[in-house]
Every structure is written in structure tokens, then in C-alpha cells.
Structure 1
Amino acid sequence: MTATIARRHRNLPDLNELQARLSALPGNRGNQFTENVWQFINQRGKRYTVDFDTVLALSEVYPDWVRERGIDPVSLSKQIWLSLAESTTVNSYTRRLKGLRLWMVALARRNLPRLTRENSRAVLTFMLTNNWRGGRPSPLKAVRSEMDMTFLMPLQALKDATSELGLDWISRDVTEAHVRRQFKVLIPELTDNDLTYQDWKKGQSFNLLTLDHGRYYVEHCLNFFEEHAPLACALSQTLQACATIATDLGVSQTSVRAHISRVLEGRPVTEIWPSRPALGQRMQTAVVDYFLEAHRKARFEHHVLKENVLEQVAEAFGLVPSPETVDRLRVIIWDWLRREDIEETQCLLGECQRPVLWHLFLQILDAMKQRCDQSGSFVPTVAFFKSFGLDGTVYEGGKKTKGGYSLPRQFIELVASAGLVGVVALTGWRASEFGFSYSDIQRNRNMDKLDQYAFPHRYQVDWYVYKTSGRVRQLREVTFSAVAIAERLGRMHGSDGDRPCLYGTFNRKIPSQSEETVLKAVSGLWPHYVQHYAGFELIDNWESWQNLAQVEASGDLLTMDQYREKERLLVSRSADEWSELSIDGNLREAHRRSREEWPRLAFFFQRSFGDKKDWVSQYRGGTLRADWRALLDTHLSDETRDWLSSLSDVECQSGETSKTIHSEMLGEALYPSPHAFRHMWAEAIYRRFDGDAGWMIRSQFKHISRTMWLAYIRDKDNRAGHQRVKIRVINSLVHNYIKSHGEGYAGQMNKLLRRLLRQTRVQSPEQQMELAEQLANIEVENIKANPWGYCLLMRRTRYRARCAEQGEPMRHNASPELCLGCVHNLMQTTNVEWMLFQIASHVEVLNNPAVPDIFKQPSLEMVRDVTRHVRTLNARHEALPELESVLTSYKLRTA
């Protein structure tokens, strides 16, 4: 369109006609076309404000585009909006303006005269991923929903409105079909293949769980699995032993199978088999004896592999209980308990830092087994199982029935789900790739000098990567931790031969199809996590202590209940410890969001049986449970409720309708998904030296090899999201730095960030996130993790990198000597111990009078840099006096 046509259009409007159309709109409250703020009220009495002053920013931000189009953005927006509003309801008025403004911004920011097939991809991407706030585009955390896009961009109505005004702003060949084809490509691309177009159409949303929040859930699952796996294994093995127990008793397997679960629930004989108490007593004794023996064995295996127990074993063997030695002993003992390969075990013991005698190995294990056997065992009770939220209730036809899945089996499945979450998190694989059997795991000697002492073996899974390799098997490395979990899961599920070891046979026709099982399992422990995660309970207790302290500070006396609560809290910590306790900011945020969002997720996780049967129809009819109705009223928009009112009874009962409503109600709530764990895995690799990232870095991920990482980033489906993961990691690091005000950080990058914070007013959490996003997306070009800190390569100072050659950073040459004094180095407290270990030889060089001074200079610079960083990170560190003494002595000798 030419500027002449635009000017001609500007002279065309008939103010009287436009005023008449505005006055005729439903909900109008005496609005004047010449004013920029209009008010409308819907039939329910809700007020809507349509504010055209928000369009003024177009002229300020994109003056060239406005000038070249020859338009008045406010006047034009009013006229287009009138046409759009005439074809919709009052509830959609504000969305129509929001969509119109976003569409105009999408054109203006690229200086596009019109929407064409060639540029539609860029325009649609912008509208899917942005809002307009504060006079500028604001990125969304997730892609906009299909329903929202329908409200924001009614293509045909927009075409008609612009054509009516003589504006050729949308090409004739940009059709609904063309836009639909673009969405089919864009949705998977923008969500890193987390959503398909069909999923998006059905209302599913992009999962937002990241390492900063998701690590707490995975930590909870792994801790839960480690604590309860022995009991779950024993229960499962007893249930699997029906035939053996029946043979020993001389009764039918059917009789044992009918009563064994009730025995394992700790029920009395009179309740189990009231008509035949003598036989019931014999059966109870046989089942309990079998269970106790299985539990003793499983409990010993669990006990002997604990960190603190392995440290004691190392000392008994005369070894220094270093992390590497503890890891090595765990592998040796674990292999011995499963294979009892004397020759291999003796070889591994002989290769320890100090050879371990065979008879001493057996003697220590036997003594530990005897001590473990002497500790009391127990048969679980109904109350024990119900403490985990299990109730044995099943539904048939929407009604509660008795029987079904027994409490022991529910407990086993809960523990198994926790273990499967651990394997999913430790591999970063797709949900379709976990159908392998234990026999598909191959073990080989570890030839990598870097970690072969701690981990004598490497493990590979010989299985299918369906999406990239089809029906061709691939060898993929996994960690020892993942293999250990897989072995125990296999025992829980009674897996043998070619059956999957990570889960029970969910799909009997094709057992290796793992998607549905994994999808169900990854969220299985979320309810327990929200209420019982140790970190959240710590916050609950700390808040309780703060409340009690406020009561006492006010001079009031504690009630009896408050006094008991104080006594309970003092059992775990002293008054000073409670008062001085510091809670990590990320943990606080995870606690707040998990608790606040739980009612929505509880509704989402609730199966559509019982009270929730036909819940959409019930909600529309006003008969849904009051608390659920209030929840939906709070989180559903007026537009969605109006849309729901327009549906037929059949449409209300469709799966797509319920998924659409679920999606909007969940919004940006955090919850686990298999794909979220893929992103968390990649984040964990980048942050493997970041103590803030928790369990994944401290323990589980120290066996991640370069081969595993390269295999991940070479996967073509991961390449698109690879840069996003980097940005997310940079964002997390910078955001954590801002939240902690730089406490616990050192390095030259620390100085730069401190100066930046002094110059920038950052007060609210939203401002903190905004600054972190700006740095991650604009200022920082790349990230690299090293044991001695992060390299946050800044675009403006990349030429100053100490590893640079002719102004180009060569980060593959990274070393402590180069990095510690580099402008891009950012260190944390967790890097201190590694640095001290690294400079031990440099300290010896400085203390050695036989070494010429000219050769001591590099060591001097290294020790000086490390000392400075340690002093910044921990001014009371026990190594500081020695380091400062070495530097002082050297200075006096060379003065």
C-alpha cells in the first residue's frame, strides 16, 4: 500500500457513522469515539476497559514504520477494532485489541508493509511467544495456547476489517489453511519438540519445569527410592513367591494369592481367614517368615552401600575415605553381592590405593551383615501404607469398589515410580526409550584415566533410539547410579529375560513401549513431594519457629500447643540454629509455587471418576463440587467460560474440551514431564560444577562422560534447543547471583556484575528476572563450565579473554592458569576445594629453595590468584593462613 492510499483512507472515516457503530456495541457505556479509553460491561456485570492509549507506543518505538505507512495508529486501531468487536462478545473486546496491537507490532518491528506468505512465519512466531507490556514486546515463558491465538488473531475477520478500510495489509493467499500449516511446523520447533501441533490443538501446554525447580523433585524421588526400595523389593519378592509358599504349605496357589496381600498389610488372622483360623495362622507365619528373610537381605544391601557406611568400610580397610575411594568401594561391593565373582573382586581390591586383603574384605562384610540382621525388622501395617496417601480404592464405572490394587502393590508402584524418575533424570532420554531389559545393559572396564579409579566399569544400554535410529540398536552410556536403580527396579517388577526392567508390563502386546508408563510415572510422586519434601518441611518448621519467636517477642505466653511445637523444633536444632538458619532463595520459590499451585495440579491429576465424572458438564451446570468450581472460576477467563456455555452436551463430554480447560487452568504451573527432564539433564551438564544445582552435580553426575554429552548434542532434535539450554543456564546463574547480592562468588566476572548491580536499580523479583534475562540474551555470548569456575564469555570483552589468539577466544585451551585471572571467570564457593587441590604442587614449588625463581613465577601467580579468590569466597577458610604464609615467605626471600 502506498502512503497516498493511506492518506486517502485517513480522510474517509465518517465520525458520526463510527460513533453510531460504537454506541451499538453490546455492553457500551456511553463511550465517545474521540476518547481513547472505552468502558464496557457484560451480562454478568463485569467491567472491561479497552485502552487505545496503549497503541501510542507504536509511534514512539517504530516511528519509521508509522511514517512510511502514513497512518495514525490510534485512529486506525479504533476503526479496525470496531469491525472485529462487531463479530464477537463483550468478553473478547480486550483480547481483540491485544491481538491487533501484537499483529501491528509484529509488522512494525520488521518494517513489513503487509502480512505475506513469505513473512507469516516470523509474524506468527512473534505472536505465539510475546506479549506487549510497558510499551515494548515482552517474551512469554511458554507458547500461547491455540484458544488464545484464536481469540487474538481471527484471520478472516482481520482481513475483512482492513479491506473495508482500503488497506492491503494481508495478502490474499494468506489463508486459514496456510496459517494452520505454519503452526504445524512452529509449535514443535518453538517447544523443542515437547508439543506436537495436535497436542497444542487439544490444549496441552509447554512444560516449564527447569533445573532450578525440578532438581528438588528428582532429589525427593531418589531419596524416597533409596529409603523405601528395600521394603518394596521384599514385598514384591514375597508376592512373587506365591507358588513356593503354597507348595511348602500344601495348599493351592489360589488360596495363597487371595490372602497374601492382607497378611503383608499386617492384618490379624481372624480378619484374614476367619473360617479357618488354624490354616490362616500357618499361612501368616509362612508369608511373614519369607518376607522377613527377603527384607533382611535387601536391607543389608541398602545399608552397606550408604555413603557414611562406605566411609567406615574404607577406614577399616586402611584406606583414606575420599569420595573417589567411596565410589570405588560401592561399585566393588555392589558387583560382589550380585555376581560373587571372586577373581574379579580380588583384582579390583588389589588395585585400590592400598591393596585390600581378601579375607579382610569378607570379614568386614560378614560383621556388617550380622550387625544389620540384629536390627529390628517389621511387617508393615495398613496405617503405614495410608501414611503415604494410599487407600486401596479403585473405581469401576465411576463408582468406588472394594478390592483391586492392594496396599502393598500400590506401595511398590509408588517406590518404583520414584526410581523410574531417577533413571529418566539421569539419562535425559525420550519417554519411548526405556523399554530395555536388564540383559541389554553391557558392562566393560573403564579405560578413562580421569575416573577409572572411582568407577572401574562403564555401562552401556544396547537398545533402540526410535525417533532417530528406528529399529537399529544403539549403544548408549549410562551412569552406575542408573544401572543400580535399574537392577533394583527389575527385582521389584520380577523382570527376567527380555521383559523391561524399569517398569511392569503396562502394554502386554508390546511390553517395550514405554511412553505411557514413563509419562504416568514421572508425576507419580509429585503429591508426596509437595507435602513431604525435606526442604519444604524445613521451611515449614522454620516459619513455625519464626511465628513462635514473634509471639514471645511480643511478651505473650505460649499456649500449650505452641509450647509443644517449640519443644518439637528444639529436638532437631537449637534456638540459635533456628534463628540463624538461612534458606536458599530457589528453595523458597519452589516451596511457594509448589504449595500455591498444588490445588490446580491436584485437580489435574485427579482421574475423571467418582466426583470428577463428567466434570465439564457439571461445571457448566453449576453442580460440580464447590471447591473445584471455585478453582475453575479463579483460573478460567471469561472468554473460556463463555465459550464453554456455547458448547453442546456432546462437545462438553469430549476429551479435547477437558484438555483445553485443563491447559488454561494449569497456566504456567510447574509439574514434571519426560521432556522437562531432557532439558534438566542438559542444564545439569552445563552446571556440573555449580553447587547450587544440588544432588545432580554433587553425586549422580560425576560419572557423566564426554561421550554421553556429545551423543546428546549431536542428536538433531536436541540441536534446536541447545542454545536455549545455554541461555537458561546463564539466566539461572545470573539470577542466583542477583538474588544473593554476589555473596559466595569471586573472579573477575564477579567484579563486573557487582559494578553493573550498583549502576542498576534492581528491587523486585520481576526486575531481577528482567535483568537476568537481558544479560543472558544480550550481553553473554556463551558459557563453559570448568571445575575452577564458569567462563561467561561477554560479547563486548571477548577479545580480552586470556585464552584468545588474535582476538578470538580459544576456550578449548582453558586451564586454571589462564582462567583464574580472566575477565570472564565467575567462581563459587563450591570451586574452592578443587582449586586448593590443584595448587598443592605450586605451593611445593614456592617452598622449594632448589627451584630457581624464574621458574617459580607461574606458580606464584597461580597461588596468588587462588588465595585472593578463597579470601573473597570464605575469609575464614582453614587453608588461608598457610597460603598467605607461603606468599609472605616468598616475598621476603625475594625482597
Structure 2
Amino acid sequence: MASKLQQTKTSEFLLSFEDKINALDLQAPTSIDDDIWLLNASDGGTATVDFYDFDKKSLCFTDSTDIHYDKETLSFSPKTLAKILFVGIVSGLSNQRAVSIGAMHSIKMLFYYLTQKKLDSMQANEIEPFFCFYLLNDMEGTELKALISPLSYTNRPILNHLRKIKSTLYRYGINGFIDTLPDSELNSKMNSACEAMLDMTFNDYREGGSFNYLGLDVGKHYVDHCHSFFEEHFLFTSAMEATLQATSKGKWGKTHRMLSAKVLLGLTLSDEKQASLVPLKTRLHCEKLVHDIFRQAYGSNAKLSLLFKLSTVSHFVNLIGLPDRYDAQEFIRSLFLVEIFGRQAGKTKKSIWAEYKAAVKAQSEELLVSLDEFEQHLRDFINKNDCVLPATQESLKHFLKEKTSHLLSVFSLSGALGKKALQLICLKVRQVGALCFLAATGWRRSEFGFTFSDIKIGKNNDGLDNFYIPWRFHIRWMVPKTNGMSKTEREITSTSFILLSQLACFLPNNQDEPLMGSGDFIYEASKLLWSDFIQHYEWFDENVSFAEDNVAAIKEIKYEVRRTFPLYQLANTSGDFKDILKSYRRGSVSEEHRQLLEDNLPQAMLDKLSEPGIEFTSKNVSAIKNALLRDVKYPSSHAFRHMWAEAVLMRYRGPVGSFIRANFQHMDERFFMAYLRDKDMKLINENAERSFISYVSQQYAELGRDAFGESVSQLPRYIELLVSKTSVLSHEKYLKKVATVANERIESVKANPWGTCIRRAGTDFRAACSQGGIPHTHDASPKLCLGCTNVDITKANLRGIMVYTRQEVEVCLNPNLPPQLKMPYIDTIRRAVSAVKKLKARSSNPSRYDKAIADFEKALSAANAYQEGV
């Protein structure tokens, strides 16, 4: 729509505003109707501001907006509004290109967000989501681009821009476009957005930093390489560590300790200096003694190394005659855990075998061997595959030299000598194992101070789950960021426990020492094998064959990491990066480094790099390093937390049914977005949600109310009514119609412990959480949900109902509270008991609900008795 300002050349607004435009130090007089503005940039040259993009549909959030200025009312297009806001933002600031670009970026992002949301104004409840959107995306022209890392706040100060936009709107009487919020509340919303999206406070974001992330696509292969490396070298280095600790005790003198280090390095003990100090017989005795200690330590951990390899586990799954699936693998690992560590929490091999056998039999499957046959095969397997060391001292010496030389080369430790070299080898292999644990859990660096004694093993009391996984493993330790110094129990998997058991072998004499080391242990571990991964990862070998679907992806990853590796090496050079920058300024830098810098740094940064007046402060060097690595994937300890979050989210995109419904209660942006800034989260969450809705609808269509064992839900009836309105000729068309109905009529899903909210079209006003016809699903609680038309309750929600109504039950049972305080809770308990009774009526095992019903009815009786007595 053409601006009516063109028709109002004498308006006070136009005369006043064009003065403001020309106060920006333009190259030529410019009017509000001009779409190209040329500013004299204070940092040299010309800054071009182009408003043509605001004619595009993606930025036209409204047809027109009214302005009320000095008794005038004028209607103008979004493009004209953009010009007004631009002047409002940059007025009073220097005409730097970054200022102009930042202002245009903020306005475009605001208009794009409103257009996509189909809003004509920014209400208070949309400001935080807008900040989240802003942090994760960029605009190129009118095209939205997802960011790997947020743009620096220095160049994109959205909070300052939003304040200036509000001030400009107020000055010109443009009402309702953005809610009037105090600055303190804007700060709070920006801080919340930074914590959700960036896992840092607004102050930390404003300070700036590097936001590189490895990503799941590359990271999973790096973790695979690290795990294979640890699996290959764990046994050797744990035996090396045990030998070092044994030979460091008091009975070993300084000379003998020096000799023992040479023996473990596979070096000869025949040089003249040693010959003059230590008799040959003593040297040979020392060599034999060290070899014997090493052999004993090597053998003590052999089963721990052999049995938990995936190939071994899969072999025994095949032996018992089951598909190689996760529950069968866990069953085999449980038997191996007893084999190595003995019975745990009252569970023996016999009980584990009997329970699992009964569980698979109920699924019409049979174990092909007996426990005795399994045990015999296990003994044979261990004897056949035992990791036997070379028999003679000479051959063992050669073995030690070969292994230590290889590890020294991998870790670039060629300069290390004697015992120090061996200690570094053991430390770094241990760090690789710690990195594998980090990848499996996604824990922060500050959470790794636990010892092996902080791991607790308890019996798995879940009625079904314990048939497959007999134990639950918990680490009781601190989570400083959220719980301060209070210890918290956090569950880990059996495979993580096995990994920690292997790491504990590096501390044979001090089980109270942190398994993950301290200080920069994890930080340094993250990048230990990056060079080795790029050069020697198994799947990068042209001669290795793998699934055809992976060929293109692997080739792309290989090309990308090898292409950018020289940049990583340059930025993390063993010398001083600052010295390389100084050499570049002097013109004496190597041709390779010069080419890398000039090809990968912005010209403006190169120009400043050459200016003698620019000091190489730590911040300047860091900024150059970050710019150099801006498109480079490389590992860091925090990158694994982001990768873990991405892996978890991908795991729950598919139709995993009641597990998500009952247990996965965090499927929203805030849970994942702190670690997935470089992903299109809106699309991913919609995919996950839609996949879940489709699955639930299809299950109800196929099996009715028995789809999830037993359930209380209006959804099956809703599907029947909608589908019955059309003529269905076949079962396939029936299911197709159900899929269409689910896609078009079911709007959203939110899993809660007490039930799943499946919000259907047309139910907004009837939803228990509705306020003014708008559902507030974030206010979900048993009080609202248990009687709601949208709730879907299955047997898996029984525990959630009991736990989350516990407060109401206790209040009603308390004789010291007046009846009027109990009234709000009685209705919630009535809804709960009604839902549980409906589940019981549809259950094949009704007795499982009796205790819950009895507890609820006892609370109701107590509350009614107190009321009657008043």
C-alpha cells in the first residue's frame, strides 16, 4: 500500500521526520519516500541502507498502520514504519556500518516474526519467544537463516533496539504495536531467553564468547572413534598404571624405579652408564619382576575388557536365540556384571535368568540354551579369546615398546621421557574414557568430581522393566549450577556404570580419588583424539565398506573436517598464536599460515591486524581466533552437552507411545533449546509432536480403549464420531481417514505425569485451563486436568496421579486444618478417584488400583468427617 505521506507534503510529521533523516549525515538529501539511503560511514566509505526488502510478503505483517502526530492521523505501509523505526534506532549514534546493519537486522527480524505468527502487534507474552527466535536466527535479505551460534550482542543489541523502537512508537503516537513494559521486565525476559537458548545469563551473552558446537552429525563419529580407542587400549594402560603404582612403593629404590620405567617402555637395559651402576643380574631380575607385575595386572582386568565389547554381547545374544535388540543386550550385560563383580542388590545369575526367561516366554519367545549351557559357553569363550601376552621376556619387551611408541605418537608425547611418559599415556587414555562418559550423559564439567564409591546400585523395582534390567545405577553427587553443594541422585545406564568401572581400574590404590580427575581434566579430554580421528577414523578409510545410505554423509564429513583441520591447528598451535599474528604483521609469517589467515578472516579484521596501533591484547587475539574458527567444527567439553541434547531429541521424534506419555515430561522448547541453537527447533518440535499424535490416534483407531492397556480418554469416541461422518469402504481407508483427522483436528499434545493433554479443535472454551477461550497448558495440574475433556489417562499415569495429588491427600487427612482450607482440595481428590476407578473398570488386573482408590477415599472420608463435626 502506498504511503499517504506522499499526499501530505505539508504535514508536520513529514517536515519533522525528514529533518531527522537528513541529520544522519547522508550523502545527498533524502526523503521518507526514498528506498535507498546512502550514509557517510564514520569508519570510512558509504553505508547503504536498502528498504526494498520491506515490500516482500515475508515482512508485511499488516496492510497499514496509523500514526497520530500533532492532531494528524496518517496511514502508512510496513516499509514506511521500518524507515521510522530505523531512524529512531540510529539517531544519536555514529554512522558505523555495524550500527546500520544491526538496526536493519532487528527491524527485519521483528517484522518477520510478526508475519510468521500472523500478528499485527507484539503483546507482552510474545516478547520472550521473540527474543528466543532472534537469538537463533539471522536474516539474509528476506530469507531466514538458522545460526550455529548467536550473533554477538555488540553488533546486534536487540534489547537496546527494542527500547528505542518503543520510544519511537510512543513519540509518534503509534499505539498497540508493542506492549508497554518497564525496562526491568524487558531485561528479565531477555535474561530468560538467554538462559533457555544459550545456557547463559544475558550478562554473559553480552560479554561475548565462542559458541562453536560439534554437532551430532560429526560428533557421533568422533565419540565412536574415542570409544573404539578406549576399548582397544584400556587393558594395556590400566595394567601399565597398576604396575607404575606397584613399583613406586617404598621397597623400590630410585634406581629400580628408573629401571622399571625403561622396562615398561620396552627399552634395553644394557647401556654403559647403567651397567656401571647396576649389576646385570639385578637389571635382569628387575625386568622379570616388572614383567610379572604387568602380567598379573593385565590378567586381572582381562574379563572386564573382553566381556563388555559390543561384539561379545551380540555374540551371546545370538547364542540364546534372540534378535540383537537392546533388552537382550542388557540381559547379557547383567549376567556379565555378576560374572565380574558378583551378585548385586540380591540379584544372582539364576534369578536374572529365570525372570528374563519368563518375560520373553510371555512374548512367545524362547531361550535356546539353559543357564548351565550358557555358563559353559562363557568359560569356553573366555579361554578361547583371552588376551594372552607374549610368553617370553624378549617378546613382551617388543610388545611393550610397540604399544608405548604408538600411544606416545597418538598423543604427541615424543618429548616425554621415562616414568613421566608412561604416566601421561595412562592419564590420556583415562581421559578418553571420561570423554565417552561425558558423551553418554551430557553432564557439565562441574559435575564430575564423584568417586567410584558415590555410585549406588539398587534393585530395579519397576514391575516390567526389571525383567530386562535388574538394577538401577545412581550417582549421588553435586550439580552446582542448579543444586549448589547439595548432593543429588542422578541415574546412569548400565553401560555407563561399566565404563566407570573400567576407569576405576586406573585408581587401584585410591578409590576415593575422582574418576574424572579435576580441573581441566575433561576440558583437555575433549580434543585429545581430534587429530587422530581426522587421520585414522575407521570409516574414513576408502577400503572400509558400510551401509550405502551412509556413504555420502561420511564422505561429506570426512571432506569437511579435513578441509578445516588446518584452521583448527593454526588456532590451537602448540606455539603462541599471538606470535603468529605478530609475524603476519611483520610480513615474516610462513606462506601456509598467511594463506590461511587471509582466506578465512574478514578483510576489516585483516586491515586492523596490519595496523601498528592495534595491540594484541587477549581479547583481540581471542576475537581473531573465534573469527578464524567460526565455520570450523571441533570438539569442546560443552559441545558434548549440546550433542547429547540433540541426540535425546532425535531419539524421541518417533512414535514411542506410552513411554513419552508417562515419563518424558519435558518435550518443549526450554528443555532442548539451551543446547540446540543451531537447529530449526520449531520444525523439530512440531515433527515430534505430530509423530506422537499420529501414533496415538492410529493406536486408538486399531485397538480402541485397550490401545495402551487401559485408558480414560475422550479421544477414541471423538475419532469414531468424526470418521463416521464419511463413507469408509475398507480398513485401509479407515486408517487413512483417522490420520487425516489427527493431522487436521488435533492441535497439540503435552505430556504430564498425571495424563496427556491432547487438545482437539473446538475444545478451547471447554478446556479446564482455558482463560477467555485460550488454553493455558503451561498451567497444567491435576486440579485442572483430571476432569478435562482433553485429558488422556493410561495405566502408566497412575503413579503420577498419586504423587502429584499427595499434597491434597495430606491436607484432607490433617485434623488440625480448618474445613474451609480443605474445600479446594476435595474436588481434586474426587476427580482423581473417578479417573482411577475408570481405569480399574477397564483393567485386566484391577487389584493394582485398589491401594490408590483406598488412599483417596480415606482422604475424602476424613475431610467429610471434619466438615460434619464443625
TM-score (norm 1): 0.61
Q: Which runs of 5+ in 2 are unaligned?
A: 68-73, 358-366, 706-712, 720-730, 744-870
* 1:63 Cα deviation from its structure 2 partner: 4.0
Q: Distance in 2 between matches of 1:369 and 1:134?
A: 63
1:532 aligned residue: 536
Q: Distance in 1 between matches of 2:635 and 2:717?
A: 38
Which amino acid is the alignment partner of residue 131 of structure 1? D
1:265 aligned residue: 265
2:139 aligned residue: 132
* 1:315 Cα deviation from its structure 2 partner: 8.3
Residue of structure 2 aligned with 1:143, choices 121, 146, 150: 150
1:355 aligned residue: 371
Aligned to 2:14, the other structure's residue is in SS state: helix
Q: Distance in 1 between matches of 2:735 and 2:273?
A: 73
Residue of structure 2 aligned with 1:590, choices 553, 557, 579: 557
Matches within 5 A, 1:627-638: 627-638=592-603
What's the CA shift string for 1:292-317, capped at 9, x where partnerless?
A: 4433443454234444445666888x
Matches within 5 A, 1:628-777: 628-638=593-603, 652-654=616-618, 656-667=619-630, 669-678=632-641, 680-681=643-644, 683-685=646-648, 687-688=650-651, 710=663, 713=665, 721-722=670-671, 724=673, 776=684
Q: Distance in 2 between matches of 1:123 and 1:641?
A: 35
* 1:221 Cα deviation from its structure 2 partner: 1.9
* 1:179 Cα deviation from its structure 2 partner: 6.9
Q: Distance in 1 between matches of 2:297 and 2:323?
A: 30
2:240 aligned residue: 235
Q: Distance in 1 between matches of 2:58 and 2:312?
A: 70
1:464 aligns with 2:491: no
What's the CA shift string for 1:738-773, capped at 9, x where partnerless?
A: xxxxxxxxxxxxxxxxxxxxxxxxxxxxxxx8xxx7
Task: Check the 8 A contact 2:584/2:594 in 1, yes or no.
Answer: yes
Q: Distance in 2 between matches of 1:707 and 1:23?
A: 61
1:823 aligned residue: 739
Task: Check the 8 A contact 1:107/1:123 in 2, yes or no.
Answer: yes
Q: Distance in 1 between matches of 2:634 and 2:310?
A: 30
* 1:81 Cα deviation from its structure 2 partner: 6.1
Say if 1:44 and 1:682 are closer, same or farther in 2 by CA, change over 3 A. Answer: closer
Deviates more, 1:429-438 or 1:596-605: 596-605
Task: Check the 8 A contact 2:646/2:676 in 1, yes or no.
Answer: no
What's the CA shift string for 1:698-747, capped at 9, x where partnerless?
A: xxxxxxx979994x857xxx965336599999x8xxxxxxxxxxxxxxxx
Task: Check the 8 A contact 2:668/2:685 in 1, yes or no.
Answer: no
Which amino acid is the alignment partner of residue 136 of structure 2? T
1:200 aligns with 2:199: no
1:215 aligns with 2:233: no
Q: Distance in 2 between matches of 1:330 and 1:365?
A: 15
1:102 aligned residue: 108
Q: Distance in 2 between matches of 1:709 and 1:528?
A: 43
Which amino acid is the alignment partner of residue 653 of structure 1? T
1:92 aligned residue: 98
* 1:209 Cα deviation from its structure 2 partner: 4.2
Say if 1:11 and 1:181 are closer, same or farther in 2 by CA, change over 3 A. Answer: same
* 1:384 Cα deviation from its structure 2 partner: 1.3
1:517 aligns with 2:515: no
Q: Distance in 2 between matches of 1:21 and 1:43?
A: 10
Aligned to 1:267, the other structure's residue is in SS state: coil
Q: Distance in 2 between matches of 1:46 and 1:403?
A: 58
Which amino acid is the alignment partner of residue 286 of structure 1? L
Deviates more, 1:378-387 or 1:174-183: 174-183
Say if 1:722 and 1:493 are closer, same or farther in 2 by CA, change over 3 A. Answer: same
Q: Distance in 2 between matches of 1:185 and 1:392?
A: 49
Say if 1:709 and 1:5 are closer, same or farther in 2 by CA, change over 3 A. Answer: farther
Which amino acid is the alignment partner of residue 432 of structure 1? S
Q: Distance in 1 between matches of 2:109 and 2:322?
A: 66
1:364 aligned residue: 380
* 1:666 Cα deviation from its structure 2 partner: 3.1
Task: Check the 8 A contact 2:166/2:180 in 1, yes or no.
Answer: no
Matches within 5 A, 1:487-526: 487-494=501-508, 496-501=510-515, 503-504=516-517, 506-507=518-519, 516-526=520-530
CA RMSD, Structure 1 to Structure 2 (Å) = 5.8
Task: Check the 8 A contact 2:37/2:50 in 1, yes or no.
Answer: yes
Aligned to 2:505, the other structure's residue is in SS state: helix
Q: Distance in 1 between matches of 2:236 and 2:562?
A: 29
1:425 aligned residue: 439
Say if 1:222 and 1:706 are closer, same or farther in 2 by CA, change over 3 A. Answer: farther
Matches within 5 A, 1:567-578: 569=543
1:416 aligned residue: 430
Say if 1:383 and 1:144 are closer, same or farther in 2 by CA, change over 3 A. Answer: same
Q: Which runs of 5+ in 1 are unaligned?
A: 26-30, 394-401, 508-515, 542-568, 698-704, 732-768, 785-789, 812-816, 827-895
Deviates more, 1:34-43 or 1:659-668: 34-43
Q: Distance in 2 between matches of 1:707 and 1:14?
A: 58
Which amino acid is the alignment partner of residue 583 of structure 1? N
Aligned length: 684
Say if 1:442 and 1:84 are closer, same or farther in 2 by CA, change over 3 A. Answer: closer
Q: Distance in 2 between matches of 1:6 and 1:488?
A: 83
1:10 aligned residue: 14
Q: Distance in 2 between matches of 1:118 and 1:40?
A: 36
What's the CA shift string for 1:153-190, capped at 9, x where partnerless?
A: 87599689969997889999999998766644432122
Q: Distance in 1 between matches of 2:636 and 2:509?
A: 25
Which amino acid is the alignment partner of residue 99 of structure 1? H
Aligned to 1:147, the other structure's residue is in SS state: coil
1:64 aligns with 2:78: no
* 1:219 Cα deviation from its structure 2 partner: 2.0
Say if 1:119 and 1:20 are closer, same or farther in 2 by CA, change over 3 A. Answer: closer
What's the CA shift string for 1:593-643, capped at 9, x where partnerless?
A: 43344334334444xx62324666666666666544544444444555677
Aligned to 2:476, the other structure's residue is in SS state: strand
Aligned to 1:269, the other structure's residue is in SS state: coil
Which amino acid is the alignment partner of residue 823 of structure 1? A
* 1:71 Cα deviation from its structure 2 partner: 4.3
Aligned to 1:583, the other structure's residue is in SS state: helix
1:385 aligns with 2:407: yes
Aligned to 2:151, the other structure's residue is in SS state: coil
Matches within 5 A, 1:728-877: 776=684, 781-784=689-692, 791=694, 806-807=714-715, 823=739
Q: Distance in 1 between matches of 2:676 and 2:448?
A: 29
Say if 1:91 and 1:263 are closer, same or farther in 2 by CA, change over 3 A. Answer: farther
1:755 aligned residue: none
* 1:86 Cα deviation from its structure 2 partner: 8.9
* 1:668 Cα deviation from its structure 2 partner: 5.2
* 1:499 Cα deviation from its structure 2 partner: 1.9
Task: Check the 8 A contact 2:350/2:371 in 1, yes or no.
Answer: no
Q: Distance in 1 between matches of 2:715 and 2:675?
A: 23
Q: Distance in 2 between matches of 1:281 and 1:47?
A: 81
1:735 aligned residue: none
* 1:823 Cα deviation from its structure 2 partner: 2.9
Aligned to 1:462, the other structure's residue is in SS state: strand
TM-score (norm 2): 0.62
Say if 1:16 and 1:409 are closer, same or farther in 2 by CA, change over 3 A. Answer: closer
* 1:529 Cα deviation from its structure 2 partner: 2.4
Which amino acid is the alignment partner of residue 612 of structure 1? F
Q: Distance in 1 between matches of 2:49 and 2:590?
A: 35
* 1:442 Cα deviation from its structure 2 partner: 2.0
1:841 aligned residue: none
